Amino acid sequence: MCGIVGAVSNQNIVPILVQGLARLEYRGYDSCGVAVYANGLKRARSTARVSELMAQIATTHLQGTTGIAHTRWATHGAPAVHNAHPHFSHGPGADASSRPGRIALVHNGIIENHDELRASLQAKGYLFQSQTDTEVICHLVDSLYDGDLFEAVKAALGSLRGAYAIAVFCKDEPHRLIGARVGSPLILGVGPDSQSHYLASDAMALAGVTDQIVYLEEGDVADIQLGKYWLVDKAFKPLTAAQRPVKTVHAHSGAAELGPYRHYMQKEIFEQPRAIADTLEGVTSIQPELFDGADASAARVFKDIDSVLILACGTSYYSGCTAKYWLESIAKIPTQVEVASEYRYRDSVPNPRTLVVTITQSGETADTLAALRHAQSLGMTHTLTICNVATSAMVRECELAYITRAGVEIGVASTKAFTAQLAGLFLLTLALAQSRGMLSDTEEARHIKAMRHLPAALQAVLALEPQVIAWAEDFAAKENALFLGRGMHYPIALEGALKLKEISYIHAEAYPAGELKHGPLALVTSAMPVVTVAPHDALLEKLKSNMHEVRARGGVLYVLADADSKIESAEGLHVIRMPEHYGELSPMLHVVPLQLLAYHTACARGTDVDKPRNLAKSVTVE
Ligand code: G6P
């Protein structure tokens, strides 16, 4: 998704801006650009990769001490150079080329009232060069500019509806940069020399430049100049350093190294034993305190709830679907799971005794944040997040939190963040079970032992990679695939299908195996591989009947079975035997071969695994 980097310095900041964009590439984008002040506004833009933008800059010798840069993920207007940010204001006047721009601006988010703003600016003589919603902000600031950019931006914000993080500068005040945010993340970085200051959508963009970060909150506006900066809140009231403290943030610049792996996704799949070990580090017993928030006690909250509502998007939603099985069977607490973008807009019946659990790798997903706020507005104040980014908006806005320690995830298709979320959700299940008197000491000890062994168990599953590669060779030639699972492995089948479709572009769907004969069986032929997650659990015999239904129609089965599932390979039946049956935690192991299957199938088809077409890592727009 879109990324922003901006800087004011006494040195050429173009290398920092462009390296910042390179660090944000993992979020997904389709064009990029950089603009600086150099005796006027100058820019370079590209619809290729950041590396191509770097080559352009090397040729044109673009340099400057104030500038902004952007990676764009198209929402309004196709991916094209004229739609790429930064945008410049033109006019007002009939001939844009005769009126060199004075405002340069980049934007993440969506301006909902852009049509009406465009019409009123066109009426004033502004000429539009792009189809973006962003360009209206640029001209709007220009129309309100009267020698003070901070005042012009503040005035413009009052007319904007929607979500935005912006960074803007003006050629008439070349050592000043203004940033503002509503609904999209923005941070301010203080350079080691305290002279240079930066803006970015993500601390990762500034890794290696500065670790001194100020997190802007909803509605904040930043006025950044050489050697100083000011912040105001949404009412434009000045903020003190205590209200928006500078925090030291280690943004893992090392995470960008691929090491021996071909892609970040592969690296991240193989990092899962470490991610789970880190996420569970120090957990030697189940304590509600594991979930305490900055100002709230989980023990108190857990006593005050009678149900759970899980809200999430994408892969995080599937971890929530898996957790529902745990929460209802182990903690015996009624649990509902909803896609955040649906929940936020539907009429629902609020229960103030519900614990609202958001699950999000990034902590910045727009729909999940909006769903949380919607639940809060309905009077559901008990909120908890399972999140991978401790400094994210989600962690700041939830009462309680469990921070997973998967580390930075670069591949757009989530892998290690998913299993780390499952680890956090399993702990939450046990903590709620304990709080409700459903967890004996013996059971607690058994579960802790199983969790401690997870990294080793994951390592053993990763060793199955060569067998999965053999499956992937078959899948690479297919255009459709069906995934089946039952019980708590049904969400794992869903996740397996999602992984395959997002990175290999093979159409894949998942069904609870019992539903097979209610529709998908009609699709089964020898051209439709059927992946079956078949652990040795209470539903295995039922699942075997479903597998017979597939084979009887000439379908080819690819089965993940435990050692004691008693399913043998045969004509049209391929079996990978998982090392051990892992009880309640089995979903965490079974998802791994499915991640590898998607990965190797995508590699065999030659797709851009880490940056699949049209997708973004962090979806900060609705
Ligand atoms: C995007 C990503 C997915 C992710 C989803 C939710 O679609 O590509 O990998 O699962 O957003 O993101 P979150 O950060 O909230 O977990």
Quick: pLDDT tens for 316-328.
Answer: 999 999 999 999 9
pLDDT of 109 over the 90 cut: no
Q: Which atom of ligand 1 is nearest to the CA of 28?
A: 8
pLDDT of 282 over the 90 cut: no
How sure is the predictor about 121, in pLDDT bands with cuts at 50, 70 and 90? very high
CA-CA distance, 282 to 166, in Å (whole number)? 40
pLDDT digit string, tens, across residues 389-421: 988 889 999 999 999 999 889 899 999 999 999
CA of 259 to the centre of ligand 1 (A): 24
Query: Any catalytic annotation for residue 234?
Result: no
Return the SS3 of 264.
Answer: helix
C-alpha to C-alpha distances, 299 to 334, 488, 593, nearest whole angstrom: 19, 27, 37
> Among 145, 177, 128, 138, which Cα is nearest to 160's?
138
Q: What is the DSSP letter of 564?
A: G
User: In CATH terms, are 3-256 and 465-605 the same topology?
Assistant: no
Q: Which atom of ligand 1 is nearest to the CA of 409?
A: 9
Q: What is the 3-state secondary structure (H, E, C) of 30-85?
A: CEEEEEEECCCEEEEEECCCHHHHHHHHHHHCCCCCEEEEEEECCCCCCCCHHHCC
Return the SS3 of 173.
Answer: coil
Percent of the chain with pLDDT over 70: 97
Which residue out of 267, 324, 499, 617 is catalytically annotated? 617
Residue 90 has what pLDDT? Answer: 79
Q: What is the DSSP letter of 466?
A: H
User: In sequence order, what are the residues at sequence separation of 6 or more whose Cβ sits closer than 8 angstroms to the Cβ of residue 595?
Assistant: 265, 269, 415, 496, 499
571: left (phi over 0), alpha (psi -120 to 50) or beta: beta
pLDDT of 574 over the 80 cut: yes
How far apart are the two ends of the chain, measured CA to CA in Å? Answer: 11
Residue nearest to atom 7 of ligand 1 (CA): 314
- 10 Å CB burial of residue 622 (0-12, 13-18, 19+) is middle
Residue 559 has what pLDDT? Answer: 95
Query: Any catalytic annotation for residue 617?
Result: yes
Fold topology of 264-461: Rossmann fold (3.40.50)
272, containing H or E segment: helix 272-279
What mean pLDDT comes out for the span 296-306? 96
Say if residues 150 and 177 touch (Cβ distance below 8 Å).
no
What mean pLDDT comes out for the span 143-147? 94
How many other C-beta atoms are found inside a 10 Å radius of the C-beta of residue 282? 6
pLDDT digit string, tens, across residues 19-35: 999 988 877 788 999 99
**Mean pLDDT in the chain?**
92
- 10 Å CB burial of residue 479 (0-12, 13-18, 19+) is exposed
Pure H helices in 145-177: 149-157
Q: Which of 100-104, 146-150, 291-295, 480-484 has the lowest mean pLDDT?
A: 100-104
pLDDT digit string, tens, across residues 330-349: 999 999 999 999 999 999 99
Residues with CB under 6 A from ligand 1: 313-316, 360-362, 365, 368, 412-414, 615, 617-619
Percent of the chain with pLDDT over 90: 73
User: In sequence order, what are the residues at sequence separation of 6 or more whose Cβ sits closer than 8 angstroms to the Cβ of residue 561?
Assistant: 534, 535, 536, 567, 575, 576, 577, 578
pLDDT digit string, tens, across residues 79-102: 889 999 999 997 665 455 555 679
Return the SS3 of 313.
Answer: coil
Residue 254 has what pLDDT? Answer: 47
CA of 615 to the centre of ligand 1 (A): 10
Which residue out of 2, 32, 138, 387 is catalytically annotated? 2
All structural domains of the chain with their residue ranges: 3-256, 264-461, 465-605
Return the SS3 of 408.
Answer: coil
Q: What is the amino acid identity at position 266?
A: Q
Fold topology of 465-605: Rossmann fold (3.40.50)
CATH class of this structure's domain 3-256:
alpha beta
Residue 94 has what pLDDT? Answer: 44
In this structure, is the dihedral angle defined by the CA atoms of residues 497, 184, 407 and 391, taken in order, positive or negative? negative
CA of 313 to the centre of ligand 1 (A): 6
Q: What is the best residue among 365, 367, 403 to mutate for testing ligand 1's pocket, by most ligand atoms within 8 Å of CB?
A: 365
How sure is the predictor about 184, in pLDDT bands with cuts at 50, 70 and 90? confident
CA of 370 to the centre of ligand 1 (A): 15
How sure is the predictor about 8, in pLDDT bands with cuts at 50, 70 and 90? very high
Say if residues 401 and 384 touch (Cβ distance below 8 Å).
yes
Higher pLDDT, 39 or 166: 166
- 307-312 β-sheet, strand order: 335-339, 307-312, 354-360, 383-387, 400-403
Q: Which atom of ligand 1 is nearest to the CA of 315?
A: 10
Residue 91 has what pLDDT? Answer: 67
Q: Which atom of ligand 1 is nearest to the CA of 417?
A: 16
CA-CA distance, 407 to 579, in Å (whole number)? 26
Residue 251 has what pLDDT? Answer: 66
Residue 420 has what pLDDT? Answer: 97
pLDDT of 202 over the 80 cut: yes
What mean pLDDT comes out for the span 160-188? 93
What mean pLDDT comes out for the span 588-595? 98
Residue 571 has what pLDDT? Answer: 83
What mean pLDDT comes out for the span 367-373? 96
pLDDT of 504 over the 50 cut: yes
DSSP string, 79-123: S-GGGSSPEE---SSS-GGGS---EEEEEEEEETTHHHHHHHHHH
pLDDT digit string, tens, across residues 223-270: 999 999 999 999 999 999 999 999 888 765 545 567 778 999 999 999
CA of 316 to the centre of ligand 1 (A): 7
